[in-house]
Structure 1
Amino acid sequence: MIGQDNTLAKPSAEPAAALAIWLKLLSAGPIAILLALIVVLSIAAPNFLTPRNISNILAQTAVIAVVAMGQHLVILTRGIDLSVGSNLALATVLGALTWHTTGSDILTVLAMLASGAGVGAINGMFYTFGRLPHPFIITLATLSIAKGTALQLADGRAIPGMPDAIKFLGGGSVLGVPASFFVVLGVAGLILLMARRMVWGRWIYAVGGKPEAALRMGIPVRGVLISTYVMAGLCAGVGAVLLAGRTDAGSPLFGNLLELDTIAAVIIGGASFLGGRGHIGHALVGAVMIGVIRNALNLLNVDIFFQLIAIGVVIVLAVEADVLRTYLEGRVRTLRAARLQ
């Protein structure tokens, strides 16, 4: 009788199973929404799925996608990088100046990559060794510093001219596919390899999941944090190469609101501000979703100001989905623990 009472007292497995199904649906939500958008827009705008328009979408989202992947690494550690847009602008200006000074393709690319990584290193070191309460502070500061430096170096104007190699990467194509798309794939593959096959990747998830526990485990938390901001800056440098190549110029006005686009891409794609959860596909799905929405609204002749509203609404929905996912995960763990008791 006692054994029967204990059995009856145990929670049913059905609620936990139902919640687990909802969690899977939420995880697949961004991809499902993207596919639904593509289907609806292909009906609403007949020229949406034409090869030329698809190529335009891939080219237009390449910069956001690359920079968002670096932002994703920072968000995995519960951080944020507000400087990526200004960092990109400064990198394009330094690249243009290097090209006009040296005439070297390689040095021009290296200048942009080094500039991006350098700003990222400053962010990471000031955040960790300066014991700042949140990276919002230092990255907001470098946003202003990098933008001001770019404006000063360029005298507030765009600097025309880029090497042919950079123009190909940013604006060329291979068999009708934008060359920038292959750059995005290359960066994604490299980051995925580093995150999945190197201990560094496991450290990032550990630091983002439970920083205090990671420190007790002997993980070099400061080094991990600095490396993620360097990677975010390096991705901004790669984005600078693509944008400078596409526009054949370096400009201090590039990258305006890019930090918001990249954060939106990561969150819309399904990553969490709470850190320690997500994969690089989140940033790519979010970037493509932003590109698809903007492209479709342009094709439908929707006012450009409404695009900002649409992206904002999608961000709110994505954040609420993250909150719901966190709540459901907690409920599933509670129910499973109760069943084991």
Structure 2
Amino acid sequence: MVVLMSLLSDRFLTVENGLNILRQISVNLCLSVGMTLIILSGGIDLSVGAVLALAGAVAAGLLKEGLSLPMFGVLLQFTVWGAILAGVVVGLALGWFNGFVITRFRLPPFVATLGTLSVARGLTMLWTGGYPITGLGETFGFMGTGFWLGVPMPVWICAFWVAVFVVVTRRTRFGRHLYAVGGNERAALLTGLPVERVKLWVYTLGGGLAGVAGLMVTARLDSAQPNAGLGYELDSIAAVVIGGTSLSGGRGSVMGTVLGCLIIGVLNNGLFLLNVSPFWQQVIKGLVILAAVALDRMSQRND
């Protein structure tokens, strides 16, 4: 794809465009790393886009207006770091809620996370009143628009989390348990592995990473939009699947997801530079996803 796009457009293979691609995929990559953990465990999370929106809105609202407690006659003001922490906590809490209802009440992940999607969207509208929260300041905005050593800050943030979860999945006991649970949950349970605890952790981490993605979106736009993150869950699932992670669980990797995000990013960027219609871009992206899944299935049969 890179070779083809380079031949078709002289603007593609430049440092500026390369950084632009990395910046564009940063939010999806952050979501997709969390989605990788969830899918590896044999689950799915349809709520990440809504969690992203709520986390960004809560952080923006606390930073801009603070938190009023009329019962005590108190108005709590938040620093930038306090607002960032609050946004991440919101993501972690919603992710934990997903894991709790799935493990405690045995709800299918599809149904549980679909319900959380609706809850988070409703809470976002209630928190914002349906209006954007703007004017968040340069310090907060640096997380989305700033540069460090010539590289955009969202790229650094994503690189950090990718490195963390590559180590977690490859070098820790939790990572081994994760693959075991996703590969064969019943066998993992019979061998004494803490299946419910693993599931609770992966959904909590997935929600936390969605919260981080929400902060990056809000910082980049200098605005918390009530409808932020619409359809983002589909893009993250697509990146995970293209990266070779099996939807049945137990097979895949974080680095594969990075490759999946890059494929989608290069494709979107190249088609834009070639002035391809946005409608055709959707068609081509869908065909690429289908081809990636078909190749994955064929490789599994050959194995």
* Alignment TM class, shorter chain as reference: over 0.9
Aligned with 1:87 (options 42, 45, 51): 51
Instruction: State the partner residue of 1:48.
Output: 12
Structure 1 residue 73: Cα displacement: 0.3
Is 1:317 the counterpart of 2:281? The answer is no
* Partner amino acid, structure 1, of 2:95: G
Give the equivalent residue in structure 2 for 1:57: 21
CA distance in 2, matches of 1:235, 1:203: 20
TM-score by length of 2: 0.94
Q: Structure 2: any 5+ residue segments left out of the alignment?
A: 67-76
The match for 2:93 is 118
Q: Which residue of 2 aligns with 1:17?
A: none
Question: Does the CA-based 8 Å contact 2:51-2:117 persist in structure 1?
Answer: yes
1:166–1:241 Cα contact (<8 Å) kept: no
Deviations 1:98-129 (A, max 9, x none): 10112411111111101111111111110111
CA distance in 2, matches of 1:68, 1:162: 27
- CA-CA distance at 1:162 after TM superposition: 2.6
Identity across aligned pairs (percent)?
39
d(CA) in 2 for partners of 1:146, 1:137 = 14
Q: Match of 2:198?
A: 224
Count of residues in correspondence between the two structures: 292
**Correspondence for 1:207:** 181
* Whole-angstrom CA distance in 1 between matches of 2:140 and 2:247: 34
Given the alignment, which residue of 90, 95, 104 partners 2:79?
A: 104
Residue 164 of structure 1 deviates from its aligned partner by: 3.3
Contact 2:166 2:255 in 1 (8 A): no
Out of 100, 125, 128, the position equivalent to 2:103 is 128
CA distance in 2 between partners of 1:319 and 1:227 (Å) = 27
Q: Does 1:268 align with 2:242?
A: yes
Give the number of the structure whose residues are more often helix, by fraction. 1
Give CA-to-partner distance per residue, 1:248-271, whole Å, 9 cap, x none.
111121111100000000001111
- How far apart, CA to CA, are the structure 2 residues paired with 1:137 and 1:163? 38
Query: Which amino acid in structure 2 is aligned with residue 87 of structure 1?
Result: V
Q: Is the 2:144–2:217 Cα contact (8 Å) retained in structure 1? A: yes
Gaps of 5+ in 1: 1-36, 330-341
SS in 1 for 2:22: helix
Q: Aligned AA for 1:111?
A: A
Correspondence for 1:156: 130
2:38, 2:44 within 8 Å by CA — same for their partners in 1?
yes
Give the root-mean-square deviation of aligned CA atoms: 1.1
TM-score, normalisation: structure 1: 0.83
Task: Give the C-alpha shift of residue 176 in structure 1.
Answer: 2.6
2:148 partner letter: V
**Contact 1:88/1:237 (8 A) holds in 2:** yes
| Runs of 4+ residues over 2 Å off in structure 1 | 161-166
